[in-house]
Homo-oligomer: A and B are copies of this chain.
Amino acid sequence: MSQPAKTLAAGRPGAAGSVGAVETRYLDLPRPLRLDCGRELHPVRVAYETYGTLSPRRDNVILVCHALSGDAHAAGVSAAPAEAGTRDGFGAEERDGAGGKALGWWDGMIGPGKAFDTDRFFVVSTNLLGGCRGTTGPSSVDPATGRPYGPDFPVITVADMVRAQRAFLDALGIERLAAVAGGSLGGMQALEWAVSHPDQVDAIVAIASTHALHPQGVAWNAIARESILRDPAWQGGRYYGTGRAPDAGMGVGRMVGHITYLSAPALGEKFGRRLQHADDLRYTITEPEFEVESYLRHQADTFVKRFDANTYLYLSRALTYFDLARRHGGGSLARALADVEARTLLIAFSSDWLYPPSASEEIERALRAAGKPVSYELIEAPYGHDCFLLEEARQTPIIRRFLGGAG
């Protein structure tokens, strides 16, 4: 586990390196996956990428878990042709999962000398179960019918996602994980790993995440799903091959999501109340009049081109279901965490109102009360939930230090 000679200078771009060109690969799980809902899923294909080198003792594996709209392409430059999309340093959830884009969604965090240092660690990133970027999900073909599952895809949970990752790692011959890391829904997966596989995880890094989404977050997710479900083009979920898809409804859902990922002050700073046409009202109800209105439309239009509506429904449902205390502790978070053996790093952002610091603090308190090793870092930053994708420079020394790197 050699350390790179250079020390990462946080905030100095170029100080750390890139993993270079990468390609998403695919692995078919050898056995059916038994799910929380009682059903079995088979076959299950997992899309994945790896960065760095697996140590001979196979003890340097970090599993990186993505958020709702992510994919396996977490770092490096995709070999796939780049789609439209830029890293503009704002509204970064947009990058999250922008499969086919040149740069991975967490490229600033994964690479030589970076937070998840590929000079030390073998970083594995999978598209999660239910996804639409290569891993089996609602848009995959149901072997029973020869057509895409659509609404016949089983309703999945975060625990099911972890089961799929466990089975995938088994197939790769990886037993233990040096760490599981992720933000948002990705952090939920990391927490679920620590609770359900305590003897197999040395450390977890849960960023801008929660042990259970608060009721307002449940509501936002419900609204986004409603918007898809109420779009006639959804067609009960059987829109594949019909030439129509619920782009209109998913676009609105994405707009809701997008605003919840950003803080009100960040939106204010970026757009203010600037008009599209220099301080001149056009008196229209159908066209964007404010810059922020035009931005929302653009975000929605871009998103629906790359994401499957049923996957949105299923993953949104899974993340609202996630509830460590209910599932593992009979309602008690402390009991749910009682068997955790992993060291835990929690990172939260002051302006994140969707996955607020209070959620991380509840986890911290419960772990601390149980005598578990836990570090909690609250980063003051203005960009809301999207900070977990934007504030790479400030997370890097924290994560490196936690993982035993140069800091």
Interface residues of A (CB under 8 A from B): 36-37, 151, 154-155, 212-216, 218-220, 222-223, 225-227, 229-232, 248-249, 251-252, 255-256, 259, 264, 267-268, 270-273, 279, 281, 283-286, 288-290, 292-293, 296-297, 300, 313-314, 317, 320-321, 323, 326, 353
Could you jot down 5 A-B contacts, CB within 8 Å? A218-B290, A218-B292, A222-B292, A223-B255, A230-B252
Please name 7 further chain A to chain B contacts, defined as beta carbons within 8 Å, in addition to the given A212-B273, A215-B267, sorted by A numbering: A155-B284, A214-B273, A215-B264, A218-B293, A227-B252, A249-B252, A289-B321
Q: Do B227 and A227 have beta carbons less than 8 Å apart?
A: yes
The distance in angstroms between the C-alpha atoms of A211 and B230, with both chains bound, is 35
Measured between alpha carbons, how far is A355 from B293 in the docked complex, in Å? 19
How distant is the Cα of A213 from the Cα of B292 in the complex, in angstroms?
Answer: 13
A222 touches B273 (CB 8 A): no
Residue of B nearest to A331 (CB): B279
Task: Determine if B314 and A216 form an interchain contact, defined as CB atoms under 8 angstroms apart.
Answer: no
Q: How would you classify the secondary structure of chain A's contact residues: helix, strand, loop or mixed? A: helix
* Beta-carbon contact of B229 and A286 below 8 Å: yes
Contact yes or no, A154 B283, CB < 8 A: yes
B contact residues around A297 at 8 Å (CB): 226
A249-B230, A285-B151, A285-B155 known; A267+B216 contact, CB < 8 A: yes
- Cross-interface CB contact of A273 among B231, B296, B300, B323, cutoff 8 Å: B323
Which of B232, B252, B285 is close to A317, meaning CB atoms less than 8 Å apart? B285
C-alpha gap A218/B272 in the complex (Å): 10
A314 touches B285 (CB 8 A): yes
Contacts A218-B273, A271-B215 given; indicate if A232 touches B230 (C-beta within 8 A).
no
Alpha-carbon separation in the docked complex, A17 to B378 (Å): 52
Residues of B with C-beta under 8 A to A314? 285
- Cβ-defined contact, A264 with B296, below 8 A: no
**A285 to B271 Cα, complex, angstroms:** 35
B259 touches A216 (CB 8 A): yes
In the bound complex, residues from chain B placing their C-beta under 8 Å from that of A223 are 252, 255-256, 259, 296
Choose among B214, B216, B281, B286 the residue that contacts A321 (Cβ–Cβ < 8 A). Answer: B281
The answer to whether B251 and A219 touch across the interface, beta carbons within 8 angstroms, is: no
A313 / chain B contacts, CB cutoff of 8 Å: 285
Most B CB within 10 A of own CB, among A151, A215, A296, A353: A215
